[in-house]
């Protein structure tokens, strides 16, 4: 067992672009659940909508090649298309459900997320969505690769070494995370944020003050959904688009990260995401290391790998029972009532 | 939340009427289907032969498989995951053969009889064909199921082998239970209706568990699918791994499921009630429980699809419809159990107490009902029913089990429950039958891998227009 490699791999997760994408999705969920009290169990679907809209637009329209647009314009327009798609998805979800009780929203969002996944992975539309195989990364990364200002071969040090492309995506993704954090921080201390938090605490009280609760909830759903859509783009830029990456498991991991860091706090989602991936990499490395030196008898390597997800589930249960406010949260500011 | 027993009764009667109407529709459909003889509107591939050719765990690429018969002869080579599939439009008997010359050096078929075999299309649209291999090192066979040939050449995994799952992702739709002898539209409708009814009935067993638990405790149990998987896994372990007789295995599975439900309440949910943990927190706890249990199952049985060594029974031709005795047995069992549950809820003291707690638990407690005891009973009963539906579901999808089958149908169970009205047991029955029918009948018009999406879309539409469900009482849910 090479303990140093395990530590190295775990430390690499701290700054990996996937962690940034995941943190972005968690910040979005924090706007939904932490601040507005909306039980969104379909955050992975917002990611899928963003990722597919971005990739499909880039591949099918391909303005750089067909219309001669500069690469930055094609990229920005593709991102805008993804944002519009995420907004549309939020409206479609919100219109029927935001008037209903909270647990109905939970069931509808998880159902809608599965509808999205079944739709993008069906063989009927595989000409556009790639079916269960998904889309190849090289087919939509042309613009962003061309925009890369970095020309060297590797950047960074220690566990955080990456190729020029990796580093470029890393910079983009983490910049977006910082922007999202500042946005959420500013919004939540604005009058808008106070209304949103008021809705979480007591919907009827806010309604009696003459606020349109439905409209405010919708705005929160759209905002968090757009962050989820952007997270989807950032998630697929370092890899390919795989429909099964956006399964309900992804949503549940985002929830675990949010509750770990602390819902209704600005930095909770960031801390939770980083801790979640570092701990997952660490326990994965430790378990496979222990398995290799024979600590588990004749258990296979894949089996040892399953154990860490058992641990994720148990951790989520214990967290929610014994420390629902997470690491940074304040127990008074919690939205565990529907 | 106030009610007398009257609306409930009416709900029961309405549920029974709907159930009979559904049965009548099937019975009427038999004569109608034999009379109608519409020309087939489409000639797509109705049956798909498929499999994965592997040497131990290594997929073999470029192995050629040929399907011939009924004027069709088509050859396909395995891809880099070792998977192949060949679709045929007409039902009938086909010869599936493997070209041994295309196998890599040192790997042979375990026996020459596997080189070419005949398969008859029947109850399933996907027919898994296994080619057991021997490598020179004498290593593993071609599939994970071993070669305990289970007779029947009808079902997926009928050879005790591994039915291939294309794509291999989560949420692979199971195959329909009933097939047709002819290819005309109305007999397909009839076959899909029957399998939809079967699917709905076995889902009803699980859905009633969800709805009883929701009704008495207010918990939306996201780990309910794992109760279904648990039943399937125990049944797989007792029949296939240690070869107990089926009836012993069924009893052991049911007892284990009931004990599992008891442990849920004793170990997790009763302590949570004592701590006064909020409902949303409990909901997230069930999600954590679901993740933990699911990966525990994967830890125990692996990530692939495992075939059960229990035969699906003889093939029965009923007019234009083909099904197996297992399909008929599982539908009958589901109906008997559902009637028994209905009688339990309406006729026995404990059943009445359950409905009282479900309607208003504080009122029930103040009239002398031991709410904790009722909830314990509900957990045991719910887990028992769901474990039983786990056994039946392994048959419905072709006598096999996968670590996340329960999670795949969980959302359909929720759809059933919401459709019928959260908290109403009879609503869950009606909802489940409707969801089952919608799921199976939708494959007439859209791709089979989208059928679960249709059921979930129905769920969303119901919430839009009738949030309280079909049989639910009007109450403010906003």
The 3 state secondary structure assigned to A73-119 is HHHHHHHHHHHHHHHHHHHHHHHHHCCCCHHHHHHHHHHHHHHHHHH
What's the whole-number mean pLDDT along residues B444-471? 82
- What's the rounded Cα separation, in Å, for the pair A185 and A193? 9
Q: Which pLDDT does position B358 carry in this prediction?
A: 86
- Does residue B97 sit in the same domain as residue B188? no
Give me the total of CB pairs closer than 8 Å, taking one residue from chain A and one from chain B.
Answer: 153
Average pLDDT, chain B: 74
- What the block records as the tokens of A122 is 């069906």
DSSP B75: E
* B-interface mutation test, from A98, A118, A125, most B Cβ less than 10 A away: A118
The whole-angstrom distance between A119's CA and the closest CA on chain B is: 7
Q: Of the candidates B291, B450, B463, which has its C-beta nearest A118's C-beta?
A: B450
Q: Which pLDDT does position B158 carry in this prediction?
A: 28
> Would you tell me how many other CB atoms lie within 10 Å of the CB of residue B165?
19
B452 belongs to a structural domain: yes
The whole-angstrom distance between B107's CA and the closest CA on chain A is: 25
- Does residue B53 sit in the same domain as residue B198? no
Give contacts of B478 with chain A, Cβ < 8 Å.
99-101
Q: Which pLDDT does position B420 carry in this prediction?
A: 82
**Number of domains forming the structure of chain B:** 2
What's the whole-number mean pLDDT along residues B339-350? 91
- What the block records as the tokens of A179 is 């922007």
Q: Of the candidates A106, A255, A313, which has its C-beta nearest B292's C-beta?
A: A313
- What the block records as the tokens of B436 is 């089952």
* Residue of chain A whose alpha carbon sits nearest to that of B168: A132
Query: Among A84-98, B176-190, B296-310, which range has the highest average pLDDT?
Result: A84-98
- What the block records as the tokens of A77 is 């327009």
- Does residue B400 sit in the same domain as residue B282? yes
Q: Is A47 exposed, middle or buried (0-12, 13-18, 19+ CB in 10 A)?
A: buried
The bridge status of strand B116-120 relative to strand B133-135 is: unpaired
Give contacts of A313 with chain B, Cβ < 8 Å.
288-295
Lowest mean pLDDT: which of A118-122, B15-19, B367-371? B15-19
- What the block records as the tokens of B220 is 């939306």
- What is the ipTM score, two decimals? 0.89
Give contacts of B79 with chain A, Cβ < 8 Å.
none
Q: Of the candidates B171, B447, B459, which has its C-beta nearest A111's C-beta?
A: B459
CB pair distance less than 8 Å for B453 and A118:
yes
Cα–Cα nearest to B441, from B321, A113, B450, B325? B450
Look at residue B400 and tell me whether its pLDDT is greater than 60: yes
What's the whole-number mean pLDDT along residues A5-32? 91
Look at residue A334 and tell me whether its pLDDT is greater than 90: no
Give contacts of A310 with chain B, Cβ < 8 Å.
291-292, 295-296, 299
The whole-angstrom distance between A316's CA and the closest CA on chain B is: 5
- Does residue B217 sit in the same domain as residue B359? yes
DSSP B369: -
Give contacts of B278 with chain A, Cβ < 8 Å.
336-337
- What the block records as the tokens of A294 is 């024979």
- Does residue B160 sit in the same domain as residue B302? no
Q: Of the candidates B279, B289, B459, which has its C-beta nearest A317's C-beta?
A: B289
Model confidence at B56, pLDDT cuts 50, 70, 90, reads: low
* B-interface mutation test, from A131, A310, A314, A338, most B Cβ less than 10 A away: A310
- What the block records as the tokens of B240 is 């296939």
Q: Which pLDDT does position A190 carry in this prediction?
A: 96
- What's the rounded Cα separation, in Å, for the pair B245 and B159? 19
Cα–Cα nearest to A272, from A259, A288, A287, A290? A259
B126 belongs to a structural domain: yes
- Cα–Cα–Cα angle for B14, B18, B23, rounded to 5 degrees: 145
Cα–Cα nearest to B206, from B469, B389, B395? B389
Looking at B120, B143, B168, the residue that finishes a domain is: B168
Q: Which phi and psi angles does B385 have, rounded to 5°?
A: -60, -45
Q: Of the candidates B169, B272, B287, which has its C-beta nearest A121's C-beta?
A: B169
Contact B96, B89 (CB under 8 A): no
The enclosing domain of B97 has a CATH number of 2.60.40.10
Contact B59, B162 (CB under 8 A): no
- Does residue B325 sit in the same domain as residue B397? yes
Cα–Cα nearest to B309, from B417, B150, B182, B468? B150
CB pair distance less than 8 Å for A124 and B446:
yes
DSSP A241: B
Q: Which pLDDT does position B165 carry in this prediction?
A: 32
- Does residue B232 sit in the same domain as residue B88? no
3-state secondary structure of B197: helix
Q: Is B419 exposed, middle or buried (0-12, 13-18, 19+ CB in 10 A)?
A: buried
- What the block records as the tokens of A80 is 């805008």
What's the whole-number mean pLDDT along residues A93-111? 83
Look at residue B238 and tell me whether its pLDDT is greater than 70: yes
3-state secondary structure of B45: coil
Cα–Cα nearest to A40, from A218, A186, A192? A218
* A-interface mutation test, from B50, B453, B469, B475, most A Cβ less than 10 A away: B453
List the end-to-end C-alpha distance of chain A, in Å, as a whole number. Answer: 48
With a threshold of 0.90, does the pTM exceed it? no
Summarize pLDDT for A278-313 with one digit per residue, the tens. Answer: 999 998 888 888 888 877 777 777 777 788 899 999
Secondary structure E strands in A90-222? 154-155, 162-163
Domain ranges for chain A, please list them: 18-246
DSSP B40: P
Contact B314, B123 (CB under 8 A): no
Contact B46, B27 (CB under 8 A): no
Give contacts of A252 with chain B, Cβ < 8 Å.
287, 291
Cα–Cα nearest to A166, from A185, A188, A182, A150? A150
Give contacts of A36 with chain B, Cβ < 8 Å.
none
The enclosing domain of B238 has a CATH number of 1.10.3470
Average pLDDT, chain A: 89
* Residue of chain B whose alpha carbon sits nearest to that of A37: B280
CB pair distance less than 8 Å for A307 and B302:
no
Contact B55, B136 (CB under 8 A): no
- Does residue B306 sit in the same domain as residue B432? yes
What's the whole-number mean pLDDT along residues B6-28? 43
- What's the rounded Cα separation, in Å, for the pair A165 and A145? 7
Q: Specify which residues B47 forms β-bridges with.
A: B88
The whole-angstrom distance between A52's CA and the closest CA on chain B is: 18
The whole-angstrom distance between A280's CA and the closest CA on chain B is: 14
Q: Which pLDDT does position B200 carry in this prediction?
A: 92
| Full domain range(s) for residue B58 | 47-168
Looking at B168, B196, B231, the residue that finishes a domain is: B168
Model confidence at B173, pLDDT cuts 50, 70, 90, reads: very low
Lowest mean pLDDT: which of B98-102, B300-304, B325-329, B352-356? B98-102
The bridge status of strand B93-98 relative to strand B116-120 is: antiparallel
- Does residue B142 sit in the same domain as residue B197? no
What's the whole-number mean pLDDT along residues B350-364? 89
- What's the rounded Cα separation, in Å, for the pair B313 and A253? 42
Q: Of the candidates B171, B275, B280, which has its C-beta nearest A336's C-beta?
A: B280
- What's the rounded Cα separation, in Å, for the pair B5 and B206? 24
Q: Which pLDDT does position A28 carry in this prediction?
A: 97
3-state secondary structure of B59: strand
Looking at B136, B168, B200, the residue that finishes a domain is: B168
DSSP B138: -
3-state secondary structure of B306: strand
What percentage of chain A has pLDDT greater than the value 70?
A: 98
Look at residue B294 and tell me whether its pLDDT is greater than 90: yes
CB pair distance less than 8 Å for B293 and A313:
yes
Model confidence at A179, pLDDT cuts 50, 70, 90, reads: very high
* Residue of chain B whose alpha carbon sits nearest to that of A107: B414
- Does residue B15 sit in the same domain as residue B54? no
Lowest mean pLDDT: which of A91-95, B133-137, B149-153, B261-265? B149-153
Lowest mean pLDDT: which of A107-121, A305-319, B13-27, B332-346? B13-27
- Does residue B338 sit in the same domain as residue B437? yes
Q: Which pLDDT does position B93 carry in this prediction?
A: 67
Q: At what angle do helices A17-29 and A213-236 cross, to 10 degrees?
A: 170
What's the whole-number mean pLDDT along residues B88-99? 71
Cα–Cα nearest to B460, from A87, A96, A247, A119? A96
Look at residue B35 and tell me whether its pLDDT is greater than 60: no
DSSP A135: B
* B-interface mutation test, from A107, A109, A123, most B Cβ less than 10 A away: A107
B173 belongs to a structural domain: no
Q: Which pLDDT does position B37 carry in this prediction?
A: 34
CB pair distance less than 8 Å for B277 and A124:
no
- Does residue B242 sit in the same domain as residue B123? no
Contact B452, B397 (CB under 8 A): no
Q: Which phi and psi angles does B93 have, rounded to 5°?
A: -100, 130
The bridge status of strand B126-128 relative to strand B47-52 is: parallel
- What's the rounded Cα separation, in Å, for the pair A86 and A93? 10
Cα–Cα nearest to B82, from B55, B114, B101? B55
């Amino acid at each position: 067992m090479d303990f140093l490699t395990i530590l190295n791999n775990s430390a690499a997760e701290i700054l990996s672009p996937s962690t940034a994408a995941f943190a972005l999705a968690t910040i979005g969920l924090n706007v939904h659940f932490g601040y507005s009290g909306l039980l969104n169990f379909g955050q992975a679907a917002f990611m899928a909508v963003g990722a597919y809209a971005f990739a499909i637009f880039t591949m099918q329209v391909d303005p750089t090649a067909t219309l001669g647009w500069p690469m930055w314009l094609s990229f920005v327009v593709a991102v805008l298309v993804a944002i519009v798609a995420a907004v549309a998805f939020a409206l479609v979800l919100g219109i029927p459900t935001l008037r209903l009780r909270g647990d109905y929203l939970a069931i509808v969002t998880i159902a809608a997320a599965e509808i999205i996944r079944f739709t993008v992975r069906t063989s009927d539309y595989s000409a556009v969505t790639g079916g269960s195989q998904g889309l190849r990364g090289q087919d939509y990364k042309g613009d962003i690769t061309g925009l890369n200002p970095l020309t060297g071969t590797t950047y960074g040090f220690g566990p955080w070494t990456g190729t020029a492309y990796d580093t470029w995506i890393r910079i983009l993704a983490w910049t977006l995370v910082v922007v999202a954090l500042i946005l959420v921080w500013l919004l939540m201390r604005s009058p808008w944020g106070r209304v949103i938090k008021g809705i979480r605490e007591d919907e009827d009280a806010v309604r009696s003050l003459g606020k349109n609760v439905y409209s405010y909830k919708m705005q929160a759903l759209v905002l968090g959904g757009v962050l989820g859509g952007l997270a989807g783009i950032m998630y697929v830029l370092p890899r390919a688009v795989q429909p099964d990456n956006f399964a309900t498991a992804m949503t549940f991991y985002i929830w675990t990260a949010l509750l770990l860091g602390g819902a209704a706090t600005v930095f909770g989602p960031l801390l939770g995401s980083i801790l979640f991936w570092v701990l997952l990499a660490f326990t994965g490395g430790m378990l496979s290391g222990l398995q290799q030196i024979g600590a588990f008898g004749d258990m296979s390597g894949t089996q040892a790998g399953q154990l860490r997800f058992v641990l994720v589930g148990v951790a989520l249960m214990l967290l929610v029972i014994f420390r629902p406010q997470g690491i940074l949260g304040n127990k008074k500011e919690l939205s565990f009532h529907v | 939340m106030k009610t007398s027993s009257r609306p409930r009764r009416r709900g029961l009667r309405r549920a029974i009427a709907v159930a009979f109407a559904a049965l009548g529709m099937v019975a009427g459909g038999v004569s109608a289907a034999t009379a109608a003889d519409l020309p087939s509107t489409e000639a797509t591939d109705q049956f798909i032969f498929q499999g994965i050719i592997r040497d131990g765990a290594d997929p073999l690429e470029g192995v050629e498989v040929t399907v011939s018969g009924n004027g069709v002869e088509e050859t396909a080579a395995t891809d880099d995951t070792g998977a192949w599939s060949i679709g045929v439009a007409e039902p009938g008997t086909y010869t599936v053969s493997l070209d041994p010359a295309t196998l890599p050096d040192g790997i042979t078929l375990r026996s020459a009889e596997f080189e070419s075999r005949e398969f008859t299309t029947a109850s399933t649209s996907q027919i898994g064909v296994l080619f057991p291999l021997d490598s020179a090192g004498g290593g593993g066979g071609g599939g994970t199921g071993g070669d305990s040939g289970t007779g029947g050449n009808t079902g997926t995994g009928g050879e005790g082998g591994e039915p291939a799952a294309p794509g291999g992702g989560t949420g692979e739709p199971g195959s329909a239970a009933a097939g047709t002898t002819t290819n005309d539209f109305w007999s397909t409708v009839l076959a899909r209706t029957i399998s939809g009814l079967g699917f709905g009935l076995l889902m009803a067993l699980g859905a009633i568990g969800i709805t009883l638990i929701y009704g008495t405790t207010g918990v939306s149990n996201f780990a309910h699918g794992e109760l279904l998987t648990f039943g399937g896994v125990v049944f797989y372990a007792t029949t296939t791994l240690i070869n107990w007789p089926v009836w012993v295995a069924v009893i052991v599975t049911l007892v284990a499921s009931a004990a599992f439900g008891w442990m849920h309440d004793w170990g997790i949910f009763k302590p949570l009630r004592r701590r006064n943990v909020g409902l949303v927190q409990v909901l997230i706890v069930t999600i954590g429980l679901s993740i933990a249990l699911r990966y525990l199952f994967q830890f125990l049985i692996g990530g692939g699809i495992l075939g059960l060594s229990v035969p699906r029974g003889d093939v029965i031709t009923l007019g234009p419809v083909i099904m197996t005795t297992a399909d008929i047995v599982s539908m009958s069992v589901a109906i008997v159990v559902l009637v028994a549950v209905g009688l339990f809820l309406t006729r026995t003291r404990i059943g009445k107490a359950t409905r009282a707690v479900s309607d208003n638990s504080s009122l029930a407690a103040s009239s002398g009902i031991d709410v904790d005891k009722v909830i314990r009973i509900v957990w045991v009963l719910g887990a028992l029913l769901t474990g039983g539906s786990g056994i039946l579901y392994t048959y419905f999808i072709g006598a096999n089990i996968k670590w996340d089958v329960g999670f795949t149908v969980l959302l359909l169970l929720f759809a059933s429950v919401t459709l019928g009205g959260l908290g109403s047991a009879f609503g869950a029955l009606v909802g489940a039958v409707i969801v089952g029918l919608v799921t199976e009948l939708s494959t007439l018009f859209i791709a089979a891998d989208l059928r679960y999406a249709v059921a979930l879309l129905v769920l969303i539409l119901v919430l839009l227009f009738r949030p309280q469900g079909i049989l639910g009482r009007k109450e403010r849910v906003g």
